[in-house]
Amino acid sequence: MTKRGRSWRDRRRKSKQKEEGVRHVTASLMSRDDSIQLMRWLRRNGFRDSHLVLTDFPDTGRGVMSTRNLKEGDCIVSLPENLLITTTTVVNSHLGQYIKTWKPRLTPKQVLSLYLIAEKSRGKDSFWYPYIQTLPTSYTTPSYFSTAEVDALPALVREATLRHRKVLQNSYKSLQTSLHNLEPLFPDWKTVFTLKSYRWAWATVYTRSVYKRGPGWEFLDPSDPDVYALAPFLDMLNHSPLVQTDTDFNVSSKCYEVKTEGACRKYRQVFINYDPYDNGRLLMEYGFVMPRNPHSVVTFTADDVVACLAVKQNGLSSKNLLQKKMELLSQENLTVNLSCSGEGLSWRLQTALQVLCMDHDSICNWRTVLRQTPRDPTLWSTARLVAQRLISKRLEQHSSRTQVAEKILDPGNSLISLFILMLLREDLYILEHSLKELNSHTAGALEK
Ligand SMILES: C[S@@+](CC[C@H](N)C(=O)[O-])C[C@H]1O[C@@H](n2cnc3c(N)ncnc32)[C@H](O)[C@@H]1O
């Protein structure tokens, strides 16, 4: 065996660094020109930023890095109104006269989607060209999932996915009847406004718009609020549930501003907090999931709990008693969103479990469980056994779903598959952890 000295290791290290450097430069060169054009265009049009640059991050993909230390209260982005795409932008554009008379009335999301497709098709002639060039060309939101990916999802997320896809299809269908009216502007409207381009535009609006209240145009469908604005550069900020930012339109400066509510170190990624969503919702609305998401939960319904009541107990609880309990729970809105998380069972689930385990005599005092403490130890020990059954049953179903998904999905080739597997594994962890907690309490109670 040849012994390799320090110089070999140094050479190896240097050549590895070079390889990585080449990979890094190749990856960033692809978007570097577009990023430079975007920044120039933004500054030409009144954008002010404080030392922020677009960068690829290994864990989140493209995002924003600060080149100086940021302190609480710093205004890091200030985007003038003329750089926002809102329904007002569209109404004042060449599409405006068509939007005003469109039948059936358009929703604000449809208006923005049509505009994005129209502007994209105009290429360099569009004012928005430098912005559109930096938009992703495809997304990881539900309308991009393959059939195998949809099938692999947990039941509730799968239902939400199918609903999401239906909304998109119906939205496109309702547009189709009037698209030919755009012929004077777009002679090739049939190949421009396709379902595929609409899916892209719709996902762009869904995943990248910020909240800005519109004027309430009377010619738009009021069933969807006019609160969306596409905000170049600001939409490059990724989400973290751990940060707080103040993101709003400032009516006096007429700029959309982002202010930090905490410090951020130099050369670190700057995040904003989109919404306190669990991973299922993040996947539905934004097309990604977060490892160790503090908002992640596994949810149950009251019917799931009822199915786990002991046969004996079920027998004892006459049909009428069970009906009464379900009425009480629904009065308190406690029949859905009963959940467990990395921290164990939620208060809602614990309460529903206790109500469903009450006997004939104690049900008249059912409100005592709403107060949470002190807990009736006998009632809670029955409820805990039902909880163990509930979680074990779900864990069994979920483990086999995850095993099947691991065989079918290819996370190396599809980011969507990777996110779905992350979602399944996170739920598995929550269920295992919750069951462990329940078992340890049972063991503790037996030892006493
Ligand atoms: C407003 S954009 C943020 C910029 C985006 N990363 C880009 O390159 O254009 C929102 C999208 O960024 C991605 N994203 C945001 N936060 C993320 C995170 N913490 N981890 C992974 N992807 C994230 C998701 O694809 C999401 O739909």
Q: Does any domain span residue 246? A: no
- CATH code, domain carrying 226: 3.90.1410.10
Whole-number pLDDT of residue 362 = 78
Q: How far is the CA of 141 from the centre of ligand 1 (A)?
A: 11
In a domain, 156, yes or no: yes
Q: What is the mean pLDDT of residues 399-405?
A: 96
| CB-ligand 1 contact for 293 (6 Å cutoff) | no
Is residue 237 assigned to a domain? Answer: no
- Per DSSP, what are the bridge partners of residue 211? 228
Instruction: Identify whether the C-beta of residue 110 lies closer than 8 Å to the C-beta of residue 118.
Output: no
Query: Which range, 300-314, 323-337, 417-431, is most confident?
Result: 417-431
Tell me, yes or no, whether 205 and 323 share the same domain.
Answer: no
Domain boundary among 214, 230, 246: 230
Which H or E element spans position 77?
strand 75-80
The answer to whether residue 379 scores a pLDDT higher than 60 is yes
As a whole number of angstroms, the distance between CA 352 and CA 331 comes to 12
Residue 22: per-residue pLDDT: 30
pLDDT the model gives residue 361: 79
d(CA 83, CA 80): 6
CB-ligand 1 contact for 276 (6 Å cutoff): no
Range of weakest confidence among 43-57, 199-213, 434-448: 434-448
Residue 278 counted as domain residue: no
- Averaged pLDDT score across all residues of the chain: 88
Alpha carbon distance 293, 310 (integer Å): 34
Identify the bridge partners of residue 48 per DSSP, sorted by sequence position: 78
440 and 356 in a single domain? The answer is: yes
Give the integer Cα–Cα distance in Å for 163 and 155. 12
Residues 215 and 121 in one domain: yes
* Count of domains observed in the chain: 2
Q: What is the CATH number of the domain that holds 426?
A: 3.90.1420.10
Mean pLDDT computed over 166-192: 96
Please state the rounded mean pLDDT for residues 358-367: 80
Residue 182, domain member (yes or no): yes
What's the pLDDT score for residue 359? 85
Alpha carbons 87 and 95: distance in angstroms, whole number: 11
* Residue found by looking up tokens 């195998």 in the block: 148
pLDDT at 26 over 60: no
- Least-confidence region, from 10-24, 56-70, 179-193: 10-24
Q: What is the mean pLDDT of residues 30-42?
A: 86
Task: Note whether 39 and 29 are within 8 A (CB).
Answer: no
Do 309 and 439 fall into the same domain?
yes
What pLDDT score does 49 carry? 72
Examine residue 281 and state whether it is found in any structural domain, yes or no: no
**Distance (Å) from CA 339 to ligand 1 centroid:** 27
pLDDT at 12: 34
Cα 34 to middle of ligand 1, angstroms: 18
pLDDT at 223 (0 to 100):
93
- Does residue 222 share a domain with residue 320? no
Taking the alpha carbons at both ends of the chain, their separation in whole angstroms is 62
Are both 208 and 305 inside the same structural domain? no
Q: Can you give the pLDDT at residue 30?
A: 41
Decide whether any atom of ligand 1 lies within 6 Å of the 235 Cβ.
yes
Q: Is the CB of 60 under 6 A from ligand 1?
A: yes
More confident residue, 95 or 33: 95
Biggest CA-to-CA distance, the chain: 83
Question: What mean pLDDT comes out for the span 316-323?
Answer: 74
41 C-alpha to center of ligand 1: Å?
22
Q: Which domain holds residue 420?
A: 297-447
